[in-house]
Amino acid sequence: MFGDKITKCKKAVKKRPYDIEAYYQLAEAYREKGMLGEAVAEYKKALTLNFTHAEARKGLASVYIKLGMLDEAITEYRKIVNMNPHYKDAYYHLGLLYGQKGQFEDALYALRKALQINPYHAEAHQALGLLYEKRGLSEEADTEYKKAEALGLGKEGEKGSQPLQGVVAPQGIEEFGGLRKALEEKTAEINKLKEELQVRTKEVGELRTSLEGKAKEMDRLKVLLATKDQENSQLKTVIRRREVEIMELRSRQGQGPKAA
């Protein structure tokens, strides 16, 4: 089914290479089949032809979410709200993404904007409640949960609750958030090890410098010792010569002239 749709969309693109809808539909076909890299490429082609195409930008953001590229997804949704702040829950999606990244103030602003645009957005009330709860603001959280419940949506995990709409995928934001958190922890651990390695490297460098200094000092002492040995040798030679001269002098004195 998907293969037929992709083939059909490829033919449309080939036939109408400047038709933005042809590229958009091909991107959608790729996304539905899970061919995310190909989908990204086609969404970008569509946006090259018309950068204001909100549906293509939303589709691109959804693929980025599936790929765990939350910053890129946020960028696309920000472009959407800049062009049309009332576009299909764009602020709501931004709020969820910011919340997933732990950017509380940004998430709070986005969700409040979503509710200004549509006060009856049950999922936005629920998401705002969850956000408040994570920040320990239980009173504000309860207020939002009650509003969501009044609109037919219970607190997440309770009877009558529904999954948050929008940024949900087989491997959803929570999973990617966990992976991102694990990656951040590993990165922090690696950075700590790098710092320790730098300290050890510095210590080794200082030790090497110290050893080099000691080696130079030993070489200087060896030269000094060799000089002293040479001086001693020369002194011994002089002493031997003096001893020979003394012996010769004594011998001459012993062979003095005989008495008449």
**What is the rounded distance in angstroms from the CA atom of residue 35 to the CA atom of residue 3?**
11
Close Cβ partners of 47 (under 8 Å, ≥ 6 residues apart): 53, 56, 57, 60
Amino acid letter, 220:
R
- Tens-digit pLDDT string for the chain (260 aa): 555 888 988 888 888 988 889 889 999 999 999 999 999 999 999 999 998 999 999 999 999 999 999 999 999 999 999 999 888 789 999 999 999 998 999 999 999 999 999 999 999 999 999 999 988 999 999 999 999 999 887 555 443 333 343 333 333 444 444 545 566 677 777 878 888 888 888 888 888 888 888 888 888 888 888 888 888 888 888 888 888 888 888 888 876 555 55
* pLDDT for residue 64: 95
* Contact in structure between 97 and 73 (CB atoms under 8 Å): yes
* pLDDT for residue 214: 85
**What is the rounded distance in angstroms from the CA atom of residue 199 to the CA atom of residue 202?**
5
What is the pTM for the complete model shown?
0.57
Whether the CA torsion 128, 129, 131, 132 is positive or negative: it is: positive
> Which three-class secondary structure state does DSSP give residue 68?
coil
* pLDDT for residue 110: 95
Q: Hey, how many other C-beta atoms are within 10 angstroms of the C-beta on 8?
A: 12
Tokens 């086609």 belong to which residue? 42
* pLDDT for residue 257: 58
**What is the rounded distance in angstroms from the CA atom of residue 114 to the CA atom of residue 120?**
10
* pLDDT for residue 219: 86
Q: Which domains does the chain have, with CATH numbers?
A: 2-174 (1.25.40.10)
Q: Hey, how many other C-beta atoms are within 10 angstroms of the C-beta on 61?
A: 27
Virtual torsion, Cα 102, 105, 111, 112, nearest 10 deg: 160
Q: Would you list the DSSP string of the chain?
A: -HHHHHHHHHHHHHH-TT-HHHHHHHHHHHHHHT-HHHHHHHHHHHHHH-TT-HHHHHHHHHHHHHTT-HHHHHHHHHHHHHH-TTSTTHHHHHHHHHHHTT-HHHHHHHHHHHHHH-TT-HHHHHHHHHHHHHTT-HHHHHHHHHHHHHTT-PPTTSTT--PPSSS--TT-HHHHHHHHHHHHHHHHHHHHHHHHHHHHHHHHHHHHHHHHHHHHHHHHHHHHHHHHHHHHHHHHHHHHHHHHHHHHHHHHHHTPPPP-
**What is the rounded distance in angstroms from the CA atom of residue 23 to the CA atom of residue 45?**
7
**What is the rounded distance in angstroms from the CA atom of residue 101 to the CA atom of residue 120?**
25
